[in-house]
Structure 1
């Protein structure tokens, strides 16, 4: 598998050592929690509730940061920052659209990483 086929998980290694079982547990929890939070974020974006969107972006951002998905983390950080400052709110929908475009492929990447970790045990 090439480097881009699975996550590298440096942040998890720094936190938990080289423990594939823990990595699998964290990634599986991500796959349970983040889609629910994503749906909530989508709903708040649909009604232009940028305050709630910022809070949800903060929550989801933490999950992406933990597994080392930097592009998603940065987009969510931008949404959170604009919502918190109540500035440049008109840019939030475009930022969310960028995140939304990356979201399905990110989930596939996580699933490939889980399968790889389970096979490697």
Structure 2
């Protein structure tokens, strides 16, 4: 697979997982995750701020990508998006059980397949 296609798929994956255009959309996504991951109320309270912060970071990075015409800058910013994804995974690993983490990985794979 070409480097460009790989980077594009990575950006789409990260955007689709952490993309919340409004607080309502974030709430809907959290509700979906609550059901699918069988989250407790305490876990929801811990996860929502993680997703909110990741969404803000992602939006800022995507705005920079749109403004940038240099491929090298876009690649660097795509790496920043990947850093955001890893940050989400790291933080969620502290909150989720082993089974929930496995399901979270399945969710990401499903999103990746759709991208």
User: With structure 1 as the length reference, what TM-score do the two structures score?
Assistant: 0.38
Larger relative contact order (CA 8 Å, sep ≥ 6): 2
